[in-house]
Structure 1
Amino acid sequence: MDLFSRSWTALRSAVADLPDEDFERPSGCAGWLVRDLVCHLVIGAQDILITLVTPADTEPTVNAVTYWQLVEPPTGEDPLDALIPRLAAAYGEPKWLKFHFDDVGSATGRAAELADPAARVSTRDEVLTVGDFLHAYVLEWTLHHLDLIAHLPSAPEPPAETLAATRELLEKLAGTPFPAALSDKDALLIGTGRRKPTDAEKAALGDFAQRLPLAVG
């Protein structure tokens, strides 16, 4: 719960501090501008609110790790991926997108703080505890924080503890640890295909390099 709050607060603060001109810069998500990514975050926040008010009374079927699955890397052909830029453009000025993100994002943060970690909720045809659900989203927020600042070198990075937690989640999902020589940030960027490894990093990864990138969905 604490890691969720830290990752979400850091991401919301990073968006709030962006100058308007940065919304037109590319993000770390291929084909998306920063404004498109922020629009995607609005939808993600809404999904969390919906899940937190969708109780379940059956046993959990997934946890914070198995909530995610390794999928084929996105091709850009998903209808929702194509819809996001049109939705983002409809806001017009960045201030309206910022306002909506802050409004929904604040509600999401409050709902997470008030939720019972042991309660069970249902989403994506699965059941899991609130605590596991929110911990799973540490990965989502941290990776998208890296996407947000991919071409904004002066923007603040995600908190160190959420980078470490996201690395741990990704390693458990892959069933293989990243080399200790890789920083948490580099492990995440390389592991998810957000940047290519150097020759030295590829050598350190060994056979694991053949399995990259790890696309999570």
Structure 2
Amino acid sequence: MDLFSRAWTVLRTTVADLPDEAFARPSGCTGWLVRDLVCHLVIDAQDVLITLSTPTEAEPTRDAVTYWELAEAPPTGDDPLDALTVRLAAAYQEPRLLKYHLDDVGSAAGRAAALADRHRRVMTREEVLTVDDYLSAYVLEWTLHHLDLLAHLPGVAGPPAETLSRSRGTVERIAGAALPASFSDQDALLVATGRRAPTAAEAAALGEAAGRFPLFLG
């Protein structure tokens, strides 16, 4: 819970501090500008609110690791939902409106998470998780999207060290393989999730584990 709140608060603060011109820059998500990514964060916040308001007595079917599904290829930006996000983002017209909506809905999602019973079970995407596992999964979501946010914005601060470390551990558990200790947590996440190709030295350091990466998380 602490890491969820930390990752989410820092990410929203980073967005709030961006100059207007940054919203027209590319993000680390294929086919999305920064404004599109921020619009996606609004939708993510809505999903958190919906999920935390969907309790169930059913047994859990997923946890913080198995929550993630793997795709065979990286996103191209052509998915209908991805295209819808772009249209929604354009409708805001002014970055201040998008910032306001993220702050409004995002703050509510943060409060709902803080108040939720961590042992309660909730349903999302027709799967059941404990609140604790669901929020833990979102630490990775927020951390990766924070890295996407700053991909083409030099000088923008990155995610907190503790959320980078936790997210790296989650990715390693998903892959069933450890990333080299020589990789920083940020580089490990970028390479492991296909956000950038490994350098020659990194590829050599991966060794046999190279076959486990990249992971295209969905």
Considering the TM-score relative to the shorter chain, is it more than 0.5? yes
1:75 corresponding residue in structure 2: 76
Structure 2 residue identity aligned to 1:130: V
2:51 corresponding residue in structure 1: 51
2:11 corresponding residue in structure 1: 11
Paired residues for 1:126-205 under 5 Å: 126-205=127-206
1:86 corresponding residue in structure 2: 87
Runs of 4+ in 1 over 6 A off after TM superposition: none
3-state secondary structure, aligned to 1:122: strand
Structure 1 residue identity aligned to 2:98: L
Identity of aligned residues (%): 70
3-state secondary structure, aligned to 1:178: coil
State the distance in 2 between where 1:148 and 1:127 align. 30
State the distance in 2 between where 1:33 and 1:3 align. 27
State the distance in 1 between where 2:199 and 2:76 align. 24
1:39 corresponding residue in structure 2: 39
Aligned length: 217
3-state secondary structure, aligned to 1:59: coil
User: Conserved in 1, the CA contact under 8 Å of 2:10 and 2:160?
Assistant: yes
1:116 corresponding residue in structure 2: 117
Structure 2 residue identity aligned to 1:182: F
Q: CA deviation at 1:49?
A: 0.2
Q: CA deviation at 1:212?
A: 2.6
3-state secondary structure, aligned to 1:127: strand
Report the TM-score when normalising by structure 1: 0.98
Structure 1 residue identity aligned to 2:86: P
Q: CA deviation at 1:144?
A: 0.1
Q: CA deviation at 1:112?
A: 0.4
What are structure 1's unaligned runs of at least 5 residues? none
CA RMSD of aligned residues (A): 0.8
Q: CA deviation at 1:77?
A: 2.4
Q: CA deviation at 1:207?
A: 2.6
Report the TM-score when normalising by structure 2: 0.97
Q: CA deviation at 1:131?
A: 0.6
